[in-house]
């Protein structure tokens, strides 16, 4: 069944966002990594870069496909998961944990309220589903 942690928020592009004391950790969902298949490369911005909500902040490549990563919120990228450069397959193995991608210090924290809740994301998947 769908693996959609209740405490996270989601985008329709299959990123997740997690509140961590005012900062937002970002990754891609279990569904996204499953659709991509074996992830072989993740291109992320450098710490200090600007992220803009709904705009691409990076790229994930699997054996078959290349896909943009979209920022759930705007702000400054304050942390980047450099471990993915050497071990991109972590995104498949642990998409909500060690497979995280960036941490954003949001410039417009209210954007959080515009993200999908777990149940909304689940419904979205069901509607668009295969």
Partner 1 sequence: MTALKRTPLNDAHRKAGARMVPFGGWDMPVQYTGIVEEHRAVRSAVGLFDVSHMGEFEVEGPQALAALQSLTTNDASTLALGQVQYSVLCYPEGGIVDDLTVYRLADERYMITVNASNIDKDFAWVTEPTAALKGARWRNVSEATGLIAVQGPRAEGLVARLSQDDVAGIRYYHFARGAVAGVPALISRTGYTGEDGFELYVAAGDTERLWSALLEAGRADGVAPIGLGARDTLRLEMKYALYGNDIDETTNPLEAGLGWVVKPAKGEFVGRAAIERVRAAGPRRRLVGLEMVDRSVARHGYPVLKDGRAAGVVTSGSYGPSVDRFIALAYVETPLAAVGTDLAVEIRGQARPARVVKTPFYSPKVKR
Give the binding site for partner 1 (CB under 8 A): 37-38, 40-41, 59, 61-64, 66, 85, 88, 92
Q: How far is the CB of 105 from partner 1 (least distance, A)?
A: 26
Q: How far is the CB of 101 from partner 1 (least distance, A)?
A: 16
Nearer to partner 1, 40 or 78 (CB): 40
Nearer to partner 1, 11 or 62 (CB): 62
Nearer to partner 1, 11 or 33 (CB): 33
Closest by Cα among 102, 101, 92 to 31:
92
Length of the chain: 130
Closest by Cα among 68, 77, 1 to 28:
68
Q: How far is the CB of 86 from partner 1 (least distance, A)?
A: 9
CA–CA separation, 20 and 55 (whole Å): 22
CA–CA separation, 123 and 130 (whole Å): 13
Q: How far is the CB of 33 from partner 1 (least distance, A)?
A: 11
Nearer to partner 1, 36 or 116 (CB): 36
Q: Strand order of the sheet with strand 50-51?
A: 9-10, 15-20, 23-28, 102-106, 75-80, 50-51
């Amino acid at each position: 069944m769908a693996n959609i942690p209740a405490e996270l928020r989601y985008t329709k592009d299959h990123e997740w966002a997690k509140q961590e004391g005012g900062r937002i950790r970002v990754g891609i969902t279990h569904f996204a990594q499953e659709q991509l298949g074996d992830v072989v490369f993740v291109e992320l911005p450098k710490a200090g870069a600007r992220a803009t909500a709904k705009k691409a902040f990076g790229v994930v490549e699997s054996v078959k496909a290349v896909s943009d990563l979209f920022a759930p919120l705007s702000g400054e990228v304050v942390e980047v998961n450099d471990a993915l450069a050497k071990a991109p397959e972590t995104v498949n193995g642990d998409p909500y944990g060690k497979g995280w991608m960036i941490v954003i210090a949001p410039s417009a924290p209210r954007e959080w309220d515009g993200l999908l809740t777990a149940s909304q994301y689940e419904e979205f998947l069901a509607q668009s589903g295969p």
